[in-house]
Structures are given as structure tokens and as C-alpha cells.
Amino acid sequence: MSPTPDERDRIRAAMNRILAGTPERSNGALTIVALAIEADVPRNALTQRHLDLKNEFYQQVKARTGTSEVETRLRAKIVTLKTTIANKNTEIARLKADVTGFLAENTRLTLETQELRDVLNGKTANVTPLRPGTGR
């Protein structure tokens, strides 16, 4: 599918409107999606047919803001993910401590069970059952 003759002109006009802060169709975000909506072209027109215009748009955005909106969003996402990782690490440390406690309790209960079995079976020399065994 070849681009329509005025497609590049519409993209350039949309770039100017978005960069001027006067979008007509889009939310005015400094993204390719907003640019495509503003220019009334499919997004792939910018990502496949008019890569030069896409790159020019990003260069102008970076020149005005110092960083692109995509970079700003990614940096914010990194902060969110680092917080999530820190929270997960705290939870993992707590769970590891719980596992250690559970293992200790399991060991204690296993030893206690074995002692009780020994008593029931008369294997303990220093313990005298109060009633005779039931033949177990």
C-alpha cells in the first residue's frame, strides 16, 4: 500500500500542532501514537513508511524537553519496578525466616512424637507406663 500524496504533509502539520501544544485530534502526547492520531494516519505509516518523520519528531521532542516522553515513561516505570522488587525482597526474607521457624517446630514435633512412640512401645527404660500396654 503506497502512501497518499498528502500523507507526509499531514504528518508534518500534525507534528507542528503537537509540538506547539495545539492538537486538534489527539491528546497532544509526545508519542508516535498521538502523532498518528493527530495526522489521521495509521501508526504503521510512521513506523514503516515514514521512519524519517518519526525520527525527526523524536529528535524535536528531545530537543525541546531534553528527554523523550518514552524515556520519561520508562524511567518512571523503572522506579516503580525497583520499588516492587524491594517489596518482594522484603517479603522473601520474611518468608525465609518463617520457613526456618517452621522447620524448627517440625523437628521439635517429630522428636516429641518419636519420644511418645517409644514410651507407648515400652522402649524407654526410665519411664514406667501408668497402665499396662494394650498390645499395640
Domain positions in the chain: 7-66, 68-123
- Of residues 132 and 60, the one with the higher pLDDT is 60
Q: In 3-state terms, what secondary structure has residue 67?
A: coil
Model confidence, pTM: 0.49
Residue 7 CB partners (closer than 8 Å, separation 6+): 39, 41, 45, 49, 50
Looking from the CA of 35 toward its CB, the CA atoms found within 13 Å total 29
Residue 57 and residue 32 in contact, taking contact as beta carbons nearer than 8 Å? yes
Residue 48 and residue 63 in contact, taking contact as beta carbons nearer than 8 Å? no
pLDDT for residue 128: 63
Render pLDDT for 104-119 as a digit per residue (tens, 0 to 9).
Answer: 999 999 999 998 888 8
- pLDDT tops 70 at residue 3: no
pLDDT confidence bin for 134, thresholds 50/70/90:
low
- pLDDT tops 80 at residue 126: no
